[in-house]
Structure 1
Amino acid sequence: MIDVKNITKRYNGTVVLDGVSLSLPAGGVISLIGANGAGKSTLLSIISRLLPMSSGTVEIDGLDVTTTPGEVLARRLSILRQDNQIMSRLTVEDLVAFGRYPHSKGRLTDEDRKHIAKALRYLDLEPLAGRFLDELSGGQRQRAFIAMVLCQDTEYILLDEPLNNLDVKHAVAMMKLFRRTADEFGKTVVLVLHDINFASCYSDRIVAMRDGRVVHQGPPEAIITPDVIRDVYGVEAQVMENAGQRIALYYQ
């Protein structure tokens, strides 16, 4: 379980997160949604210890993220940020292998190589394994970074806007992959998403944020409603249900 208690984050006096408390159960797919500036990415970065919090606590299965040794936390939790640096002379396979560092400390074992091969296969990257990152499209690079995170083989996988640079076909395939990762391997996948319909169709739980606070949370059927969408985004929406999934059609 990810247990967030009264998290506040300030930048030069500006409050970005305002007393956020949240309990995310282990297992399944959880999506964080909200307008730009709602605090989604900041919250994800604080949970993963990429950003310090101004006040509050975060625990992962009882481990305080501020005091737990990095090598211990890295075996429990992995994260993909939005602003990944492109290392041009690095191949796809080399990048994916970085995901094994918390386990191998740079000395790859046969077990590590199995995880690397599995991640490349999982993301359909085997034909690109020897290509340099600067030779890839934006979508191909995004898949390579996600493969690196999955290769780390942690219980909790945090992904900040993982559908960036992906066309509809690959975005759907990616969401199916996250769903399969949670269902078949018992992982907890936490995503920051802008497309609420992807959140609706593939999530077990949706957390909606506005102005640095959690304003709604629950299963998709409780969140993808005209009233909640109006409250979170300030727009009117018509919601349709098809085969048990809710789809929002926007209009002003």
Structure 2
Amino acid sequence: MIQLEKLTKVFGDNRVVDTASAEFEKGKVTSIIGPNGAGKSTLLSMASRLVSKDQGLVFVDCKEIAEWDTKELAKKLAVLRQSNNVTMRFTVREMVSFGRFPYSQGKLTNEDEGVIERAIEYLDLTAIQHKYLDELSGGQRQLAYIAMVIAQDTDYVFLDEPLNNLDIKHSLQIMRNIQKLAHEMKKAVVVVIHDINFAACYSDIIIALKQGKVVANGRVEEVIQADVLAEIYETPFNIVEVNGQRMCTYY
């Protein structure tokens, strides 16, 4: 489990994250929602040590994150950031192989190759594994990046807005695979996401931020409530159930 205790981050006069606490459990998808500028990505970056925290603590398997050796942390926690601007020309398989760097330091073993193969097969990328990333659609590229994260084989997976600029088909494909990653492979998957309905359909836990504070934290049915969402987003919501799933409409 990863535990966040009263994390705070200040940029200039702006308290971007304000004493935020949360837990990320293995075997569950946790979605972080909230309006633009709520501090979602900053919270995830502090939780992964990509951004320094001004106050608070982060415990990864009961050990404070500052005490983790960088190489060992990379075997425990994988992060996929919003921007993945790869300037060099790589194939899908080459990109996925970078997930093995914490173990191989660039010298792939037969074991590494097996892990890469399984990650590619898991996301059904076998047919395009030798294509270059610049030949793919945005959704296919995003699946390749997620396969790289799977190949890293960590207990904790952080995905910062993985659905950015994707159509509905690829968004569904990615969210289904994220759910499989947690439920079948027993990883703790944490997703920063804007689409409330995708969060409602594919999450186990939802954490809502507003102005840097955690204002809701619980199971889907606890957070996806009209009054809760109206308070978070300052707009009226209507909640309906479709095939047992809570769905939101707003007006």
Instruction: Please confirm whether the aligned pair reaches a TM-score higher than 0.5, indicating the same fold.
Output: yes
Match runs of 1:157-236 below 5 Å: 157-236=157-236
Conserved 8 A contact 1:88-1:133: no
User: How far apart, CA to CA, are the structure 2 residues paired with 1:158 and 1:176?
Assistant: 16
Unaligned stretches of 5+ in structure 2?
none
Q: CA RMSD in A?
A: 1.2
Matching residue's letter, 1:32: I
Superposition deviation, residue 166 in structure 1: 2.2
Conserved 8 A contact 2:201-2:246: yes
Conserved 8 A contact 1:142-1:164: no
Q: How many residues align?
A: 251
Superposition deviation, residue 27 in structure 1: 2.2
Superposition deviation, residue 76 in structure 1: 0.7
Matching residue's letter, 2:32: L
Matching residue's letter, 1:72: E
Match runs of 1:1-252 below 5 Å: 1-251=1-251
User: How far apart, CA to CA, are the structure 1 residues paired with 2:25 and 2:100?
Assistant: 26
Matching residue's letter, 1:102: P
User: How far apart, CA to CA, are the structure 2 residues paired with 1:27 and 1:152?
Assistant: 17
Matching residue's letter, 1:25: E
Matching residue's letter, 1:154: T
Q: Percent identity?
A: 47
Unaligned stretches of 5+ in structure 1?
none
User: How far apart, CA to CA, are the structure 2 residues paired with 1:74 and 1:138?
Assistant: 26
- The structure 1 segments of at least 4 consecutive aligned residues displaced by more than 4 Å after TM superposition are none
Conserved 8 A contact 1:209-1:215: yes
Indicate the SS of the match to 1:206: strand
Superposition deviation, residue 135 in structure 1: 2.2
- The TM-score with structure 2 as length reference comes to 0.96
Conserved 8 A contact 2:27-2:185: no
Superposition deviation, residue 231 in structure 1: 0.8
Indicate the SS of the match to 1:120: helix
Conserved 8 A contact 2:26-2:182: no
